[in-house]
Structure 1
Amino acid sequence: MKASKTKTVLFVTGAFVANSGWAEWKAYFESQGYKTLAPAWPYKNGTAAELRNRQPNDTDLAALTLGELVDHYAAIAKSLPEKPIIIGHSLGGLITQILVSRDLAAAAVAIHSVPPQGVFPYEFSFLKAGWKALGLFTSLKKTYLMSFKDWQYAFVNNMPLAEQQKAYDENTIPESKTVARGGLTSAAKVDFAKPHVPLLLTSGEIDNIIPAHLNYRNFKAYKGNGSVLDYKEFPGRNHYVLGQSTWKEDADYILNWLAKHA
């Protein structure tokens, strides 16, 4: 499972949560011989509590666009000595797919990825869990903070209440509604026909905000062109997959896949 030579993994954080959610993944991948980095989004340096204290008047974060966010991670990837392995979760998965399309990865994994433009998310649970982040009929100058009730549905369904609350307190942060709306624009475009480096898409059986069949349609949107493209659905996983008690099983699957393809 260990990397035969030292390779760098760039972890890309999704919306609504702090980049500290990758801490256990970083430590585990480093124990397997990888270098890792999990940089914060622009204007998101700080603990979850610190960032929540800025709600709702963090105007810099509120003005951030999806295009700027993608370029932020693209610049990090380009700054490295070699193309990194890129692993992203949720909106970070979408960013990962875009960076793959830009030829900036050596291999990539999109975990419960927000769908790119052209993969229409018609699932009711996606709309119920995510529509408030768009901030329709609200000011784009103010950030959006997911309520605990919405967090329970969107991220941590089927977990004990105490674990849901702990996960919320440690991870949930304000979000840019402008970034969320960018997912509906050409900023979220991926060239599905273009040959690409090895790419794995994963999904979770009980994920409400990014249902498994939405992930599967994302996977099927890629055109057969000889590129390595794989899909894996994990049973019992919700959207808090990075922090669920089963996270190491998912990490092991990804590490084994990387050992074959990266």
Structure 2
Amino acid sequence: MSDPRTPVVLIHGLWLHAGSWQPWIDLAAERGYAPLAPGWPGEPATVAEARRHPEAVAGLGIDDVTNHYAGIIRTLDRPPVLIGHSFGGLIAQKLLGAGLGRAAVAIDPAQIKGVKALPPAQLRAGFPVLGNPANRRRAVSLTAAQFRYGFGNALPSDESDDLHARLTIPSPGRPLFEAAFANFVRRSPAAVATDNADRGPLLMISGQADHTVPDVVTRSAYKLYGDSPAVTELKQFPDRGHSLVVDHGWRTVAEYALQWLAREGIHGRDTSRA
């Protein structure tokens, strides 16, 4: 008999290691789901090792990462729930639009093709990568100050610095360039099938104090789904920044996501699909 638990695939974004999902894994398992948080292709198993070997992920693009997760999903015995943060949120949307997920939660998702909003805070947060075209082929690290602006601006400085010290890793610059120029490329990897009427339900979550993916960017992406009759919802968390999946308030976000799944009829144990 196959596992009756609903799988949940957690997809991280730039600068956070897959291990940053551990509290979410524990909570989802407690609620009866079968969670897994695979790293990006080539990502070392630990934060320390990832910092020693930035070349392991240098040059990866959106399609590389999307195809990696698609391959993992195809090994599962049933369609999973997809939960992604930042570029993981963009990838979760791509996978859902391609019919590879039962539902998706995109948290502070990186901008998809068609989003035209470009707030100054987003430009500043992306400058450590986008400021040097050579970073398209490199893996780039954030300093504690850069992390505090892009991720931890809604946190006390000591909490932001602690998250930076424990969880951050070098990440490829290429996805940022691909997203930044998506509206100028006919077949951009940042394109999402927003008009897919047959996909599963999608929840978009925005931290309204986010500098890396400002609220206006998430709202603009949400509006692109307006022509699809498939379920699409938006939840905004006031005074939360880009760190909302890993900081002291992570559980509030996680609980909301799991409650939304329950309202959509997607529970941890799904004996009807066994």
TM-score (norm. length: structure 1): 0.92
What is the identity percentage for the equivalent residue pairs of Structure 1 and Structure 2?
Answer: 31
1:57-79 CA deviation, whole Å, 9 max, x = no partner? x1x42122221111001111111
Distance across 2 between alignment mates of 1:64 and 1:193: 27
The one-letter code matched in structure 2 to 1:33 is G
Do the aligned partners of residues 139 and 87 (structure 1) sit closer, same or farther apart at CA in structure 2, a change above 3 Å counting? closer
C-alpha displacement of 1:147: 1.3
Matched, 1:189 2:191: yes
Paired residue for 1:69? 65
C-alpha displacement of 1:158: 2.9
Paired residue for 2:10? 11
The answer (yes or no) to whether the contact 1:66–1:180 under 8 Å persists in 2 is no
The answer (yes or no) to whether the contact 2:154–2:240 under 8 Å persists in 1 is no
1:194-245 CA deviation, whole Å, 9 max, x = no partner? 2121000000121111111211111011133321110000122110011222
The one-letter code matched in structure 2 to 1:131 is F
The answer (yes or no) to whether the contact 2:89–2:105 under 8 Å persists in 1 is yes
Paired residue for 2:226? 223
Distance across 2 between alignment mates of 1:135 and 1:76: 34
1:11-30 equivalent positions in 2, closer than 5 A = 11-30=10-29
Paired residue for 2:203? 200
1:104-115 equivalent positions in 2, closer than 5 A = 104-115=100-111
**Range with greater deviation from structure 2 (87-96 or 205-214):** 205-214
C-alpha displacement of 1:139: 5.3
Distance across 2 between alignment mates of 1:178 and 1:214: 20
Matched, 1:259 2:258: no
1:167-186 equivalent positions in 2, closer than 5 A = 167-183=163-179, 184-185=181-182, 186=188
**Range with greater deviation from structure 2 (8-17 or 63-72):** 63-72
Paired residue for 1:42? 41
The answer (yes or no) to whether the contact 1:8–1:35 under 8 Å persists in 2 is yes
Distance across 1 between alignment mates of 2:156 and 2:214: 21
Gaps of 5+ in 1: none
The answer (yes or no) to whether the contact 2:102–2:200 under 8 Å persists in 1 is yes
1:79-98 equivalent positions in 2, closer than 5 A = 79-98=75-94
Paired residue for 2:270? none
Distance across 1 between alignment mates of 2:136 and 2:123: 19
Paired residue secondary structure (1:188): coil
The answer (yes or no) to whether the contact 1:85–1:107 under 8 Å persists in 2 is yes
Do the aligned partners of residues 139 and 19 (structure 1) sit closer, same or farther apart at CA in structure 2, a change above 3 Å counting? closer
Cα RMSD (Å): 1.5
The one-letter code matched in structure 2 to 1:61 is V
Distance across 1 between alignment mates of 2:154 and 2:202: 29
Distance across 1 between alignment mates of 2:17 and 2:229: 36
1:122-133 equivalent positions in 2, closer than 5 A = 122-133=118-129
1:16-35 CA deviation, whole Å, 9 max, x = no partner? 11011100000001100100
Gaps of 5+ in 2: 183-187, 267-274
**Range with greater deviation from structure 2 (221-230 or 80-89):** 221-230
Distance across 1 between alignment mates of 2:148 and 2:200: 35
Paired residue for 1:147? 143
1:44-100 CA deviation, whole Å, 9 max, x = no partner? 123222222234xx1x42122221111001111111101100000000000001001
Do the aligned partners of residues 49 and 63 (structure 1) sit closer, same or farther apart at CA in structure 2, a change above 3 Å counting? same
> Which aligned segments of 4 or more residues in structure 1 are displaced greater than 6 angstroms?
none
Number of residue pairs the alignment of both structures matches: 255
TM-score (norm. length: structure 2): 0.88
